[in-house]
Structure 1
Amino acid sequence: MKAGSETRTRPTRPDASMVLLDEVMRRPLDPGYADEAARRRDGTSTRGPRRTLVLTIVAVLLGAGTAAAAVALQPRDSVLTARSVLHDEIVQRSEEADAAAEAILELDARIDALQNAGLGDAYPVLLDGTQRDGAAAGTVAVTGPGLVVTMRDAVPLLGETDSASKRVLDYDLQVVVNSLWSAGAQAIAVNGHRLTATSAIRSAGEAILVDLVGLSSPYTIEAIGDPSTLPAFFARSVGQQHLTVLGSRYAITSDVRREKALALPAGRAAETLLARPVEALGSGASQNRPAGLPTP
């Protein structure tokens, strides 16, 4: 290799690896802080009386704005009055809805009575089929032997904050009700509300709704079924296991007892908004006519 092409290395300082430490030791202050300190020593600091006055005015304005916002957020008499009016209206509408529901049940009972009176003598076979279909659909009051399952919320301990886990949830009722159906129950009611094919058990906040009707603890589930098989099948079901877990983990008490005679009320008939019965045409009308009805 030629001498002119030899690579020369730049001589390095012995303390090159300690530049950062040396910089910290020699200049501990940021250049901005150092400049401000020099201005103060010279009497030329940028924080003069004018800037102090401006900062004071800004602080006063911010404080006044915060106080005004706090006052505006406080409930006034008009807000309290409006809230009271809404509460009274909600209570009134709820009472009207309850009265309308009772009137509907009374009208349904009258319709059933008139239907039974009209079909009882002329078409007994048709009446018997209608009663059976209504019992299966949950739209006819029924009676018979069965099981009664009662579930109660646990009593929270003194100072205990997590009380939500010790309440009966909609899921718990769903598990028990579905297990009763699987065990052979033919009719079920929860706190006196008959379950139909379209019934729903769900929650709204801390409340449990059955067909949009709020329920509270204790929850009583009545199920009519074969007394020789229903208790045994339910004892081996997931529902009974779920009750055991609720008692051991969350102190939710429950009991299952047999009853010789249960009386379950009729439920609301489902309203079909889209489904319509097929109109019989021609000779098919007489073929689809129930037994006992005369042919027009």
Structure 2
Amino acid sequence: MMPDADPAQPRPARAVDASMTLLNEVMHRPLDPGYAAAAGRRARGEEAPRAAVTIVVLLVVAIVLGFGTARAAIELRKPQPGVVAARTLLQDEITSTRAEVATLTAQNAALGTSIDTLRDSALEFVDPELVRTVALDGFTNGTVAAKGPGITVTVADGADAATDPAAFVQDSDLQSVVNALWSAGAEAIAINGQRLTATTSIRSAGSAILVDLVGVAGPYEVVAIGNRNDLETGLARSSAAQQLSALGSQYGIKTSVATHEDLLVPAGPTRVLFSAQPLGTDNGDK
């Protein structure tokens, strides 16, 4: 049985760093005792140096392990045969479908032209005035190609477009050019071959510009048919010209205007009529 401690005797002082034993071990004795002893023997020359054969064996093992690791990484990154076959099949289907769509589109256009020709031939003997009205309507709504004198306005992205998004041509820039040309008396307009009609929209979809839901890329060529002097003068006096000039000086967006004696604006898609009513009536029906 241990005797009771005398309260009059002072307690032994506790080390200040008694709670940091592990930290002291790491700081003052970083090596394991076994490693430290081996290092001491090697320093005193009591341990024989490694033989050349051992070094060569270790080097060979390291090379083999490195080669195996690199080979495994290459095999893991290599596409599996099934994935490659599926991707190839999908690409072939996309190419085939695009070709089929292009063929059907051409057939549809040819059939539409044949129908228009037969219609005009049948109406020529019955009502010639109606034939001229139909032709004028087709030209107005953009379902008939237009040909004649006019101007072209080419707008290209700035040189810093790759690093500065503001150097890209925006949909609003093309809208202002088109509106200025309509106001100047343009009879038919197309952007990169896409005919503009009363229902055509010019808008952005991310970094792309859609004209009637068809993507177009720069440089953007706006073709306008009409009186060349009126179109050129009207565009130069419009706010669109001031906007393009400011874009050129600030962001390097390039604009050029050229006049032509003979231009072609292709026909646009045939519109589907969902509702109609006689002119001059307002009965609220749709």
Instruction: Please give the TM-score of this superposition, normalised by the length of structure 2.
Output: 0.64
Per-residue deviation, 1:264: 1.6
> What code does the residue aligned with 1:117 have?
S
Instruction: Indicate the residue corresponding to 1:173 in structure 2.
Output: 174
User: Is the Cα contact below 8 Å between 2:177 and 2:235 reproduced in 1?
Assistant: no
Instruction: Indicate the residue corresponding to 1:255 in structure 2.
Output: 256
Matching of residues 267-282 of structure 1 within 5 Å: 267-272=268-273, 274-276=274-276
Instruction: Please give the TM-score of this superposition, normalised by the length of structure 1.
Output: 0.62
> What code does the residue aligned with 2:168 have?
R
Instruction: Indicate the residue corresponding to 1:223 in structure 2.
Output: 224
User: Is the Cα contact below 8 Å between 2:189 and 2:225 reproduced in 1?
Assistant: yes
Are residues 1:152 and 2:188 paired?
A: no
Give me the whole-angstrom Cα distance separating, in 2, the residues matched to 1:40 and 1:167.
60
Give me the whole-angstrom Cα distance separating, in 1, the residues matched to 2:149 and 2:197.
19
Give me the whole-angstrom Cα distance separating, in 2, the residues matched to 1:91 and 1:202.
28
User: Is the Cα contact below 8 Å between 1:198 and 1:270 reproduced in 2?
Assistant: no
> What code does the residue aligned with 2:253 have?
I
Per-residue deviation, 1:75: 7.1
The number of residues matched between the two structures is 215
> What code does the residue aligned with 1:130 have?
V
> What code does the residue aligned with 1:180 have?
L
Per-residue deviation, 1:189: 1.1
Per-residue deviation, 1:149: 0.7
Give me the whole-angstrom Cα distance separating, in 1, the residues matched to 2:140 and 2:150.
16
> What code does the residue aligned with 1:264 have?
V
Uncovered stretches (5+) of structure 1, i.e. residues with no partner: 1-28, 42-69, 279-296
Instruction: Indicate the residue corresponding to 1:104 in structure 2.
Output: 108
Uncovered stretches (5+) of structure 2, i.e. residues with no partner: 1-15, 25-72, 279-286
Per-residue deviation, 1:222: 1.0
Per-residue deviation, 1:146: 2.0
Instruction: Render the CA deviation track for 1:92-141: whole Å, top value 9, x for unaligned.
Output: 22222222222222222222222222222321111111111111111112
Per-residue deviation, 1:221: 0.9
Give me the whole-angstrom Cα distance separating, in 2, the residues matched to 1:40 and 1:150.
74
Give me the whole-angstrom Cα distance separating, in 2, the residues matched to 1:209 and 1:169.
11
> What code does the residue aligned with 1:129 have?
T
> What code does the residue aligned with 1:183 have?
A
Instruction: Render the CA deviation track for 1:241-264: whole Å, top value 9, x for unaligned.
Output: 222122212222221122233222
Instruction: Render the CA deviation track for 1:168-205: whole Å, top value 9, x for unaligned.
Output: 33332222112212222121011222112222223344
Instruction: Indicate the residue corresponding to 2:91 in structure 1.
Output: 87
User: Is the Cα contact below 8 Å between 1:147 and 1:258 reproduced in 2?
Assistant: yes
Are residues 1:117 and 2:117 paired?
A: no
Instruction: Indicate the residue corresponding to 1:12 in structure 2.
Output: none
Give me the whole-angstrom Cα distance separating, in 2, the residues matched to 1:120 and 1:128.
9
Per-residue deviation, 1:144: 2.5
> What code does the residue aligned with 2:248 have?
G
